[in-house]
Amino acid sequence: MPTVRESVTPGRREREREGRPDGLAPVPVGAPAAPPRPGTRIIAVANQKGGVGKTTTAVNVAAALAELGSSVLLVDADPQGNASTALGIDHHADVLGTYDVLTDATPLVDAIVECADVPGLWCCPATVDLAGAEIELVGMSARESQLRRAVDEMVTARADTADRPFDVVLVDCPPSLGLITVNALTAAREVLVPIQCEYYALEGVTQLLRSIALVRERYNAELVVSSMVLTMFDGRTRLSSQVAEEVRAHFPEQVFDQTIPRSVRVSEAPSHGQTVMTYDPASSGALAYRAVAAELVARSDA
């Protein structure tokens, strides 16, 4: 069995490529040092590893921010459509969604729906078609900036109407570094990286940071990794604490103080078409996501 240090750090070959003894790529700067930005915050929730808590974090942070009074749009950019399901948003094949926005220049305003349970929270759903978007985008011009164009158009359009402008746009990314994720990173100003408190916690983070650096260089100079959140933390195990300590040692500026506990209520909520914020508002998971949302807000004010 690997030691914790071995389990959370990348392999030797990856370290050698990177040229850093601890094996982790330099973080492309980040808040809280980043200057405050006026207007809409656009945040990609990304980690190409599956099952680390991206969708759970995206929907619950979105709901918590809406509870705090923000106007929030969650763009479901994962063909699985789990975020749409968790918000109780219809995402059968015939509805307009992220696929149409990416591949058919459909305006976001035509695809977004308000979440019935959480006033102020809107969702652009992911339908099954989105699985084909990776391939369709390849042949398109400006293939990496379709989501950015759509978000920018929406922000500008809403500023001219009586509709309340969005304070925050969150994008729930798929578990890959393909063109959909590149679209999310090109549209965003910040990246929020969920990291599961498990063996191999940091596996692939170097690769993610490298992709983020590439997107910064080519398409989006203002992109920063503003935050990381430790998910599925189990206080009863030494492993969780050791992993958390290790991740904090690597990314002291980025990791939120608040961790997200492993909680049955968090995992049950989506099957009821709800976030944990409405499913069980007093549960440990809801309290934790509320605290994370508050930290995220505090960083924008820093």
| Chain residues 261-280 in contact with ligand ADP, contact rule CB under 6 A | 262-263, 266-267
Helix (H, G, I), strand (E, B) or coil at 67: helix
By CB under 6 A, is residue 51 in contact with ligand ADP? yes
What gap in Å lies between CA 283 and CA 122, rounded to an integer? 24
What is the total count of residues that contact ligand ADP (CB under 6 A)? 17
- Beta carbons within 10 angstroms of residue 8's beta carbon: 27
By CB under 6 A, is residue 52 in contact with ligand ADP? yes
Among 55, 85, 183, 258, binds Mg ion (CB under 5 A): 55
CB proximity list for 154: less than 8 A, separation 6 or greater: 107, 108, 109, 166
What track of x and - describes contact with ligand ADP for positions 134 through 173 (by CB under 6 A)?
Answer: ----------------------------------------
Strand positions, DSSP E, the chain: 41-45, 72-76, 113-114, 121-124, 168-172, 190-196, 224-231
Among 61, 260, 292, 293, binds ligand ADP (CB under 6 A): 260
Look up residue 233 and give its two tokens.
Answer: 């933390």
Using the minimum distance from each CB to Mg ion, give the nearer residue, 23 or 175. 175
| Chain residues 68-127 in contact with ligand ADP, contact rule CB under 6 A | 82
By CB under 6 A, is residue 11 in contact with ligand ADP? no
Binds 51: which of Mg ion, ligand ADP, none (CB < 5-8 Å by kind): ligand ADP
Rg of the chain over Cα atoms, rounded to whole angstroms, equals: 18
CB 184 within 8 A of CB 190: no
- Residue numbers of the site for Mg ion (CB under 5 A)? 54-55, 78
